[in-house]
Structure 1
Amino acid sequence: MTYQITTSTTVSQDGIALFDQDKYHLQTGEQPHTGDDGLLIRSVNLHDTPLNPELLTIGRAGVGVNNIPLEKAVDQGVVVFNAPGANANGVKELVFAALVIGARPLMAGNAWVNHLKGQDIDVQVEAGKKAYVGTELLGKQLGVIGLGHVGGRVANGASSLAFGMHVVGYDPYIEVDTAWNLSHHIHHADTIEEVLRDSDYVTLHVPLTGETKEMINAQRIAMMKPGSVLLNFARDDVIDEQAILAALDRGQLRGYVTDFASPKLLHHPKVTVFPHIGGSTTAAETNSAKMVVQTMKNYLETGNIRNSVTFPDCVMQFAAPLRLTLIHKNVPNMVGRMTAILANYDLNIVNMMNRSQGDYAYTMIDLDHVAEKRLQRIATKLEQIENVIRVRVIEQPKR
């Protein structure tokens, strides 16, 4: 079987090259075409784009998926993948640069030097450099809110001998693998308030959810150590922008460094804004493309799901001749209705897995060999079950 894939021009060619030419027909564009099985993008906005009925998967070669209409996709049975952690090192390194910028007025010093004129620049520099005295990070406390792919690396790096900071971390949803990889030097706080109270620097690394929206607001800023610096490399909406500016103006905060620009933040003397470049490194773009292409291929060829933002991980060894995959609503007795149909055809289920996430669920059923016409009748029966959105029949990949 050959799969039709449309790829965006901005996706790394190193990732696109992983699509095997004998299995995938590639075309370059910004939107899916009729008959496409997959769409691979970076920043293309799909919210106003109709998704064709044949589309099986969308891959986002990056982390954020706010450019993808997730509800529309899942309603049509389209599995959306991203690349969590692929750009984590690039973001981590920018956060370290931001910490240094928060400690020393490098940007202001550079701007001042570039405006000097005359033949006695060295004299002017020596006379004026006292205006750009900063502090050091050694021995200061860094509060890390969110200890995922990026936050965990920032916490480990800051607590190392290279930086020598005292690190306090908070993450009520920390994953087991992440926890194992954290340095024993990191103190784990029980509340956000504990992090804010004594930290000289606070850096945010949380996803945007209903719980985290404007989590750093006027009330919480008032708890922060006077003269502290706030870094935001998570999402723009996790902070109350007006509260940040008010805290900077009254001196509660000494500085704010962020990767998210807005009209209110620009030109404020205590704000440093980057143009959303946390993951903008060649390595990160390559890693993101490779990761998402591998997950797309795995889904198309085996039905296995990993790193989807719309469905839970569902991975099962493909050891039978055939596999049925069903995307359906997460309502009672769905699996029973599926297996009842298979029982009516006197079929043996070799293996089976069902996973749910919110209102939707995903089921994989492995079967022994079934004649093609009979298999098609079974797939049609399954499609007719109420609340079933999509049924696929996948043959075991040839080794």
Structure 2
Amino acid sequence: MYQVKTYNAIAQAGLDRFTADFALNQSAQPDAYLIRSVNLRDAEFPASLKVIVRCGAGYNNIPLHRATEAGIAVFNTPGSNANAVKELVVGMLIIASRNLYSAVTYAEHNSGADISTRTEKEKTQFNGTELVGKTLAVIGVGHVGSKVAAAASALGMKVIGYDPYLSADSAWQIPTTAIRAQSLAEALKDADYVTVHTPKNEETIGLIGEKELNEMKPGAVLLNFARLGIVDNAAVIKALDAGRLKRYLTDFGEDSILDRPDILVTPHIGGSTAQAEANGAVQGAETVMQFLETGNVVNSVNLPHLDVPFTTHFRLTVMHQNIPNMVGQITTLLANEDINIEGMSNAALAKTAYTIIDIDALNQADAEELIAKLDAIPAVYRTRLLNNPRL
């Protein structure tokens, strides 16, 4: 029986996916955490913990380095909230182009017998522009960005995409009419609207700063519904004050950007739909079960992708440092234990590697000793022995 501890409100649709081999919130020594936004950066992890799955795309609430050194695989659920974020971005494009927020605020604070006459005279201050024919730069065309690009194209916008890490799967989602920029500067220079959809990492923090804002055409509108910190808010304020940037719309508030008529902030609601939360919970539950039962790795953020059919009676998985001779040490130890390898796969992600070894014959009485010997190899983070539940 595998033990799963949940944090935050995990949608029931996801909890219902767990089979009878998984118990929820019944042990202080869980095998898995299924979480949303809980802050684990300073958390102490139990020795039993093997996997953390974040129901959502972002994972900056998880200490990846500490988790890796503790032999804990970390996953997210990319794409589960992509449609929700896309719809919000499309709504914000329309709000920005038609000055809807200012218009609604005006209407809420005006009344009286002469309202019709005054409205006809004063409504011209809210005249907007149509999105048809305007240029949208989509920075990052992954799960969300590709959907935004397709929706904008359907609205009649000219779409320019920039993503140096564009995957084949995402490429299929981008409209054929979209132009692929070769550089960030190329994507920005002619855009009427710029929307950012990159992950947050060392390369993307401050991606849109003073230099990039100066490269944008005067009067452009900037949207950030990706992550706080990808856009330099101080640089945005400077560009707005100078009249270079027309408006900024974001899902991430900071004191410095509040109470300005040219900035519209929403309270981090990009993925806050019933459907997105259910999608993330279902994908998260399936990820927990797949990893614990088969050792296969799909959508991990600290381990390489390794998805191997489990056809033997037993499987060893070894999470270790990506350094020379690790596989040699592991296989030599197995040979010395007279264990025949039926199949083996190995892959690496940066400084971490993962090895799957399938075997058909193993003396269960020697299993604990075998795992202890593998764990004793320097640079091994964790070894697991899995029984095939289907054999």
TM > 0.5 between the two? Answer: yes
Shift of 1:128: 2.4
Amino acid at match of 1:7: T
Q: Tell me which of 114, 119, 124 is aligned to 1:125.
A: 119
Whether 2:334 is the aligned partner of 1:336: answer: no
Distance in 2, matches of 1:3 and 1:124, equals: 68
Q: Tell me which of 108, 116, 134 is aligned to 1:114.
A: 108
Amino acid at match of 1:86: S
Tell me the SS of whatever aligns to 1:248. helix
Whether 2:202 is the aligned partner of 1:210: answer: yes
Shift of 1:177: 1.6
Tell me the SS of whatever aligns to 1:169. strand
Q: Tell me which of 350, 364, 367 is aligned to 1:375.
A: 367
Distance in 1, matches of 2:322 and 2:329, equals: 13
Equivalent residues of 2:223, 2:249 under 8 A apart:
yes
Tell me the SS of whatever aligns to 1:99. helix
Residue matched to 2:13: 14
Tell me the SS of whatever aligns to 1:264. helix
Match runs of 1:1-399 below 5 Å: 2-20=1-19, 22-27=20-25, 34-160=28-154, 163-398=155-390
Shift of 1:361: 1.0
Deviations, residues 6-50 of structure 1 (Å, cap 9, x unaligned): 112411111011111x2011118xxxx632111111111112221
Shift of 1:369: 2.2
Distance in 2, matches of 1:257 and 1:365, equals: 50
Equivalent residues of 2:340, 2:361 under 8 A apart:
no
Equivalent residues of 2:319, 2:354 under 8 A apart:
yes
Shift of 1:120: 4.4
Amino acid at match of 2:171: A
How does the TM-score come out when normalised to structure 2?
Answer: 0.97
Distance in 2, matches of 1:325 and 1:226, equals: 55
Tell me the SS of whatever aligns to 2:215. coil
Amino acid at match of 1:12: A
Tell me the SS of whatever aligns to 2:30. coil
Distance in 1, matches of 2:234 and 2:135, equals: 25
Amino acid at match of 1:326: V
Deviations, residues 128-169 of structure 1 (Å, cap 9, x unaligned): 212211111000111111110011111111112xx1011111
Any unmatched runs of 5+ in structure 2? none
Shift of 1:119: 4.2
Distance in 2, matches of 1:179 and 1:43, equals: 30
Amino acid at match of 1:208: K
Equivalent residues of 1:34, 1:54 under 8 A apart:
no
Equivalent residues of 1:57, 1:296 under 8 A apart:
yes
Amino acid at match of 2:151: G
Distance in 2, matches of 1:155 and 1:264, equals: 30
Equivalent residues of 1:145, 1:151 under 8 A apart:
yes
Tell me the SS of whatever aligns to 1:237. coil
Distance in 2, matches of 1:277 and 1:252, equals: 28
Tell me the SS of whatever aligns to 1:222. helix
Shift of 1:195: 1.1
Deviates more, 1:34-43 or 1:271-280: 34-43
Amino acid at match of 1:284: A
Equivalent residues of 2:8, 2:38 under 8 A apart:
no
How does the TM-score come out when normalised to structure 1?
Answer: 0.95
Over the aligned positions, Cα root-mean-square deviation in angstroms equals 1.3
Distance in 1, matches of 2:113 and 2:46, equals: 66
Distance in 2, matches of 1:285 and 1:135, equals: 34
Shift of 1:180: 2.5
Equivalent residues of 1:356, 1:362 under 8 A apart:
yes
Shift of 1:380: 2.1
Distance in 1, matches of 2:220 and 2:258, equals: 20
Deviations, residues 300-325 of structure 1 (Å, cap 9, x unaligned): 01111111111111111000000011
Equivalent residues of 1:11, 1:289 under 8 A apart:
yes
Deviates more, 1:112-121 or 1:259-268: 112-121
Deviations, residues 327-370 of structure 1 (Å, cap 9, x unaligned): 11111111111111111122221111111112211111000121
Aligned length: 391
Equivalent residues of 1:325, 1:363 under 8 A apart:
yes
